[in-house]
Amino acid sequence: MYRIPFDRVNWITSSFLIGTALIAVIGLPVYLIKFGIDWFQFSMFAFYLVATMMSITLGYHRLFSHLSFKAKWPVRFFTLVFGACAFENSCLDWASDHRRHHKHVDHDEDPYDISKGFMWAHIGWLMFKLNPEPPMDNVNDLRKDKLVMWQYKYVHWIGLVIGLIVPSALGYAWNSFNGMNPWIGALGGFLIAGVARIVVAQHCTFFINSLCHTIGRQPYCSGHSARDSAVMAFLTFGEGYHNYHHEFQHDYRNGVKPWQWDPTKWTIWTLSKLGLVEGLRRVPDSKILLAEMREARIRAQKHLAELQACDPSHAQRACDAIHEMHERLTANYHELEKAVSERVQLSRDVLNNWQAETRTMMRDIRRMAAAVPA
């Protein structure tokens, strides 16, 4: 049995997280059964959910924590205001925690260290303060931004007014305008676009720290726990390609392949075309492929060792095949590494061929590894 360290409970945060979750799972269904939902309440929920999630992924995360692009004040203001409505603390606190997460991933100083368990990474780190609060000495660049400091000072007021009072007031106004009971409209706004939206947005963000370090593939690096998952990307506005993100944290894209679901990346790109953001940082394709090849070589070596350790006669053919793939990967890797270090521009066709070859080999290596007898 785990002992709950009651003396270390962060009571305000814990009460908020548990209280909002209870309202969402008990109060909301009762309201929906009794009064239903109209298109206005649903649209408000959808708008608030997208605005809040996008403010966290585009604003708090990619803009302020990683400086992966530069934004004009309207984008910074919008994301700081709706980021406050997520009730995930101020942007300054959030970025400080997140920068420490990247610097110390999977180690003790990582605030949401997955090696302490799934629930710790998801929500436990917010509910318990086991260690003294570290100094926020890694966000001095953000302290120079007046909007960030304004939000830092008033974050709870902004969240309360814009995130809860405004949807309640709009629900009230909509119902009175349509000759319905205004207080039912206000309660609906509070429960649906307010509390339920906060709970959904928070847990989708928390998934990035828990599930995105638990399920999925590691095509770029298996040296840390971060993983790529299309399902998680769908739930997190594109943040689910977390293995890529931990390898190349300053890239404004998380879903770097054209077919990957990354609405945050598409929004940043669209804002750049509108002149509202600029300086989008991209890792060159050759460097991305180099990481994929390096990881494929590590996998090949690992599975070769596993195969050699089991019945040699059974594994000989598979060993030979993986050995051959490893040799080929190594040759490609060194050729690409040389081109990158000498800044030689490689043609799109060459990169595409190497990429396709690496992926096929990764798939074959996985298939053969799965066939290893236990």
* Residues binding Zn ion (CB under 5 A): 226
- State which residue, 56 or 293, has the beta carbon closest to Zn ion: 56
Minimum separation from the CB atom of position 210 to Zn ion (A):
10
Q: How far is the CB of 102 from Zn ion (least distance, A)?
A: 6
Closer CB to Zn ion, 172 or 220, in the complex: 220
Minimum distance of Zn ion from residue 5's CB (angstroms): 25
Q: What is the distance between the terminal CA atoms of the chain, rounded to a whole angstrom?
A: 32
Give the nearest distance from C-beta 200 to Zn ion in angstroms.
20
Task: Decide if 198 contacts 163 (C-beta within 8 A).
Answer: yes
Nearer to Zn ion, 53 or 195 (CB): 53
For Zn ion, which is the closer residue by CB, 114 or 186? 114
Question: Minimal CA–CA distance to 334: which of 285, 283, 297, 284?
Answer: 297
Residue whose CB is less far from Zn ion, 226 or 362: 226
In the complex, the smallest distance separating the C-beta of residue 213 from Zn ion, rounded to whole angstroms, is 6
d(CA 151, CA 161): 13
Residue 81 to residue 93: CA distance in whole angstroms: 15
Distance CA 279, CA 268 (A): 11
Number of residue whose CB is nearest Zn ion: 226
